[in-house]
Amino acid sequence: MLRVKLSVVCALGLITVALGLAGCASTAPVDKTIGMSPNAIYADAKDSMDAGQYDKAIPLFEKLEARAAGTPLAQQAQLDKAYAQYKTSEPAQAIATLDRFMKLHPASPALDYALYLKGIVNFNDDLGLFSGISRQDLSERDQKASKEAFESFKELVARFPDSRYAADAAQRMNYIVSSLAQYEVHVARYYYKRAAYLAAINRAQAAISDYRNVPALEEALFIIYKSYDALGMTQLRDDAKRVLETSYPQSEFLTKGARSKNDPWWQVW
């Protein structure tokens, strides 16, 4: 009798487990790409991209990479996935995807685009929700990303001078150099506003010593001039002013104390 009862209990337990597994199976996500051709998956992913649904496109590209491994379509899926990751504010993932692509496909005809996109990801490193309101400039951020962007653009221009992306990359390289100089001036301005005049002078002079023919040098000279004036060092103040007037005879810093600002051209992606 006891054996019968135990058998019934065991049977009921098995039924409960089976029902539980069935319930789990019914709520498991369904892979809608089963039975789809690689081209059909790619078309769906591109439709999501075109609709701005980058988060939906990424898993489709990942499935396509696995299904079409070793084909040009899989390579294209990697590049498109990197772009989608960039657009969903995942720069680290995008760069990892691009580095993997370049390691796996060093002779790919799309290598110039991979270098360009890697540069763009670092160049336009996310400024945050309020960047448009604060008008934060590239020079006001940590320069690590800017330097990494410069290296990607430099490699692109050196290896693929005839690439359709080379001209834009060269223009961005020039801007990055200017931003690096402007960063030094940004720090010098910070010190000046806090009455740390010697520190302001040293930082502004560093910009003048390290860079040539960039717009930031005008303000660097102005900061040196104003700092010497604040310190009461009249001879050095007058020397700095003379250099500023000679180098920039139409300087707005001498008439307005600042330069008119325009919208930054670089925020195009």
> Of 54-63, 128-137, 148-157, 174-183, which gets the smallest average pLDDT?
128-137
pLDDT digits (tens, 9 = 90+) for 233-269: 999 999 999 999 999 999 988 888 777 665 443 343 3
* pLDDT at residue 140, as a whole number: 53
Q: What is the pLDDT of residue 262?
A: 52
pLDDT averaged over the chain?
A: 83
For range 103-107, the mean pLDDT: 94
Q: How far apart are CA 238 and CA 251, in angstroms?
A: 16
Cα dist. 24→18, 27, 30, 155 in Å?
Answer: 10, 5, 12, 51
Q: Mention every residue, 6+ apart, whose C-beta is less than 8 A from residue 173.
A: 150, 153, 154, 157
Rounded to two decimals, what is the model's pTM?
A: 0.70
CB distance 73 to 64 below 8 Å: yes
Contact by Cβ (8 Å): 154, 173: yes
Q: How far is CA 167 from CA 89, 131, 153, 157, 224, in A?
A: 26, 27, 10, 8, 36
- The DSSP secondary structure of 10-38, one letter per residue, reads HHHHHHHHHHHHHHHHHHSPP-TTTT--H
